[in-house]
């Protein structure tokens, strides 16, 4: 089966610009998560979708971040306008609901650099 796909793999943008990250979960996985790792720090939860609904968005840092999952398939995470502190690696993960609910499959991440 195909894994979780994220693109772009790298993005370098200037402060004030907009960037949109995309995540394609494993087909059939209702749960989709976004995490972020700022350089050298821990991996922090951003939000959780169940199908197209936001189950938990308590980790979203501020209103410059907007996540969507139209139709319950792929998800996008938009940062507008980007700030220097938004630099980091953004991970997406998906999981099934059921016996393997707590076994996330991660994508390879998008490395975002804001200059």
Partner 1 sequence: AQSVSQHNHHVILSEAASLELGCNYSYGGTVNLFWYVQYPGQHLQLLLKYFSGDPLVKGIKGFEAEFIKSKFSFNLRKPSVQWSDTAEYFCAVNGGDKVIFGPGTSLSVIP
Going by their DSSP bridges, the two strands 10-13 and 110-114 should be labelled as parallel
Task: State in angstroms the smallest separation of the CB of 105 from partner 1.
Answer: 8
| Min CB(89)–partner 1 separation in Å | 10
Binders in 12-51 for partner 1, by CB under 8 A: 33, 35, 41-45, 48
65 binding partner 1? (CB under 8 A): no
Q: Where are the beta strands (DSSP E) in the chain?
A: 5-7, 10-13, 19-24, 31-37, 43-50, 53-56, 65-68, 75-79, 88-95, 105-106, 110-114
Does residue 90 interact with partner 1 by CB under 8 A?
no
What track of x and - describes contact with partner 1 for positions 94 through 113 (by CB under 8 A)?
A: --------xxxxxxxx----
């Amino acid at each position: 089966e195909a894994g979780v796909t994220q693109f772009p793999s790298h993005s370098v943008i200037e402060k004030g610009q907009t960037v949109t990250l995309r995540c394609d979960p494993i087909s059939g996985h209702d749960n989709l998560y976004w995490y972020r790792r700022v350089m050298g720090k821990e991996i922090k939860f951003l939000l959780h979708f169940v199908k197209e609904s936001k189950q938990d968005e308590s980790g979203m840092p501020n209103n410059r971040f907007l996540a969507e999952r139209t139709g319950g398939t792929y998800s996008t995470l938009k940062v507008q306008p980007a700030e220097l502190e938004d630099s980091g690696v953004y991970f997406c993960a998906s999981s099934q609901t059921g016996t393997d609910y707590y076994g996330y499959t991660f994508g390879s991440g998008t490395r975002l650099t804001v200059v």
